[in-house]
Chains A and B, each alone.
Chain A
């Protein structure tokens, strides 16, 4: 039983960065912008987050550093893709290349350092309940925040007027513009939100997942988050399911390696990436009756006068 509990806890921890980053990207894409730079924003968030926590000794300040770093990175993207109408795919790639270089530069001085990881909640009595106690009442703050975040985003997109306007920009920027909405400004905010989430998701890795920073520690999680948004058909509810499924795949392959299944560890490590490819194929195939993607996703918009 304890093993089950341990696995569930590990799955939650592995899923949380995916969920946070994918939530941000979901909002960005719902506004019609495809920011492929999630991996770059995450890795810079990880480096800055660790730097912040190491310098101040505070996990909260570390997380804020991550958020600010991710937002600043996303602003570069917004300036290019929205301000200068540059191809979004190419800009996103550039952001990732830049982010990997920057994180190496920022994090170089912190490699080998350790911090005390984020504390886990403890409520006497509740947390001690067997099996479910630690799962429900013994997580770190990031896990609870990620769930609050996705609920908030759901509420914003489907129950609030600004969310409706944001979705309108994503489905038809021409109509939204004609109605007088500032399409580019709304999209800039959406991109910034995506950057803040990616930065926080990146910061989660050295602040809570492993208490140290190593270059390239995001290991493609930003790209998996992008795939998760496709997986979710751009819906918050399905995003949660997808993120936990992927977290489960990651943890199961780790445990399978530990159990000494006769498969080389590299093949097990490749599973999350292969699963992403397979899921993308299956989902895209199932969706023959038209795409569920925001109609204006990835297209350049230059307002006429």
Chain B
């Protein structure tokens, strides 16, 4: 009997505490700088081109093989605007396959790929799985607009 009363007093004591929950869709929790959502490509703003040279390092290191990389000659290299001989032509990442292990970021030699640390990297629900395969424009759009600064780099 005493034990039951103790339990009840405990319950009454807890009622006074402040709630720890937040109303999610209206209120977004602040996410830490190191947060690892899905990988995105980064934009080299001064030269106005992506950092990525399409060297296939991330593609080879990916445990789940969710990436496809196609490289091309950099037209800006011929004109002398850029030091990069090769540049990314096509890049697909299947977000439905990616397991967010951060290995692509670690193996990248050019700091060209980073893990999205904004809410845009989390709220990605789609009606069709095909829509989760991101192409080059989608992967770069956020960094191009300056909306993201990944906390973890290679």
Do the two chains bind? Answer: no
Which residues of A are in contact with B by a Cβ distance under 8 Å?
none
